[in-house]
């Protein structure tokens, strides 16, 4: 039995002008077919990265006695080549997330970067299924290293980076299971067979072969 997903009729109504993109977003929210509904987390999750990565630097800058233990943590010093490579990777990830947002707005049917009813397989979505999550994970890893000459990189930075990359990957898994498969059914299952979730190298290799 074919599974067409739960947004097929929304796409059809959009195409004939029966509903607007704004109406579509509201319907998705009512049906709990949004990232916010399935992930059930707020902006606070970024504190898992922000506090461990930048607290030692803040403690050193302010010299507050209550934070002295963080100011005294051993600092990791990276070679210049590692720092330059991190900066290059950070910059390279910007087009990945920017193009992902662009295609969401232009091709997703809802005219927003956060909500879609049309399964996008173009642009960065030809390479990986979650380009924005991949790009943000690159940001989480490379920014503390890029700033390490000015902001101490410590064992807490490693904890913050691992926590956020793990959360980003977990978010991709949950989004697929609880949102994408519900939205698009068999079409998304076929897409999963064609394009890797996060593996940029495999995605680029597959694209080259095509």
- What per-residue confidence (pLDDT) applies to 40? 86
Instruction: Tell me the pLDDT tens digit for each residue of 138-175.
Output: 999 999 999 999 999 999 999 999 999 999 999 999 99
Q: Where in the chain are the domains? A: 8-209
- What per-residue confidence (pLDDT) applies to 206? 87
Q: Name the maximum alpha-carbon separation found in the chain.
A: 66
Q: Contact at 8 Å (CB) between 10 and 19?
A: yes
In angstroms, the CA 82 to CA 78 distance is 6
Ranges of residues in the chain with a pLDDT under 50 are: none
- What per-residue confidence (pLDDT) applies to 3? 85
Buried b (16+ CB within 10 A) or exposed e, 24-41: bbebbeeeebeeeebbee
The tokens describing 115, both together, are: 């909500």
CATH hierarchy code of domain 8-209 = 1.20.120
Cβ neighbours of 209 (radius 10 Å) = 6
Query: Which secondary-structure segment (H or E) carries 95?
Result: helix 80-107
């Amino acid at each position: 039995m074919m599974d067409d997903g739960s947004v097929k009729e929304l796409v059809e109504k959009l195409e004939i002008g029966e509903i607007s993109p704004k109406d579509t977003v509201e319907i998705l929210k009512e049906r709990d077919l949004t990232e916010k509904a399935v992930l059930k987390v707020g902006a606070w999750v970024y504190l898992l990265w922000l506090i461990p990565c930048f607290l030692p630097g803040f403690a050193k800058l302010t010299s507050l006695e209550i934070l002295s233990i963080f100011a005294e943590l051993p600092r990791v010093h990276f070679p210049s080549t590692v720092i330059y490579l991190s900066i290059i990777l950070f910059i390279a990830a910007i087009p990945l997330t920017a193009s992902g947002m662009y295609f969401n707005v232009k091709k997703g049917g809802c005219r927003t970067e956060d909500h879609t009813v049309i399964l996008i397989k173009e642009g960065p979505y030809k390479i990986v299924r979650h380009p924005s999550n991949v790009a943000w994970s690159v940001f989480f890893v490379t920014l503390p290293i890029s700033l390490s000459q000015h902001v101490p990189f410590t064992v807490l930075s490693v904890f913050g980076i691992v926590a956020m990359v793990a959360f980003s990957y977990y978010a991709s898994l949950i989004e697929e299971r609880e949102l994408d498969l519900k939205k698009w059914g068999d079409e998304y299952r076929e897409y999963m067979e064609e394009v890797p979730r996060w593996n940029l190298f495999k995605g680029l290799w597959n694209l080259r072969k095509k």
